[in-house]
Structure 1
Amino acid sequence: MSTAVAPKPPAQEWTPPLDADGLRLVLERFRAWEPLDIEEVFDDLDAAIGSQPPPVASAVALLGRLRRHLKQLSDITVADDSFPPSAEMTRLVERGVPLLEEPTPAGYRQAVGLARRLAFVTADLIEVLIEARYVKEIE
Structure 2
Amino acid sequence: MPWTPPLEADALTTLLSKVQQWTPFDGNALLDDVGAVLDDVVPPKEDLDVLAQRLRGHLMQLVNIAVTAEAGDKDPEADRLIRQAHTVRAEAMPDDHRRAVGHLRRLGWTVNELLERLVAANCLREAA
Structure 2 unmatched ranges of 5 or more: none
Task: Return the match for 1:28 from 17, 33, 43.
Answer: 17
| Count of residue pairs the alignment pairs up | 125
Question: Offset of 1:84 from its aligned partner?
Answer: 4.7
Q: What one-letter code is carried by the residue in structure 2 that aligns with 1:31?
A: Q
Structure 1 unmatched ranges of 5 or more: 1-14
Q: Which residue of 1 aligns with 2:26?
A: 37
Task: Return the match for 2:103 from 109, 114, 123.
Answer: 114
Q: Quick check: 115-124 or 79-88, which moved more?
A: 79-88
For the pair 1:100 / 2:125, whether they are aligned, the reply is no
Question: Offset of 1:77 from its aligned partner?
Answer: 0.4
Task: Return the match for 2:50 from 57, 61, 64.
Answer: 61
Residue identity (%): 34
Provide the TM-score with structure 2 as the length reference. Answer: 0.86
1:70–1:96 CA contact under 8 A, matched in 2: yes
Provide the TM-score with structure 1 as the length reference. Answer: 0.80
For the pair 1:131 / 2:103, whether they are aligned, the reply is no
Partner-residue secondary structure (3-state), 1:88: helix
Deviation string 1:83-131 (CA, Å, 9 cap, x unpaired) is: 9552211110101112111112212111111100111111110001112
Classify 1:83/1:56 alpha carbon distance in 2 versus 1 (closer, same or farther; 3 Å): closer
Q: What one-letter code is carried by the residue in structure 2 that aligns with 1:78?
A: V
Question: Offset of 1:138 from its aligned partner?
Answer: 3.5
Q: Which residue of 2 aligns with 1:8?
A: none
1:77–1:129 CA contact under 8 A, matched in 2: yes
2:66–2:118 CA contact under 8 A, matched in 1: yes
Higher relative contact order (CA 8 A, sep 6+): 2
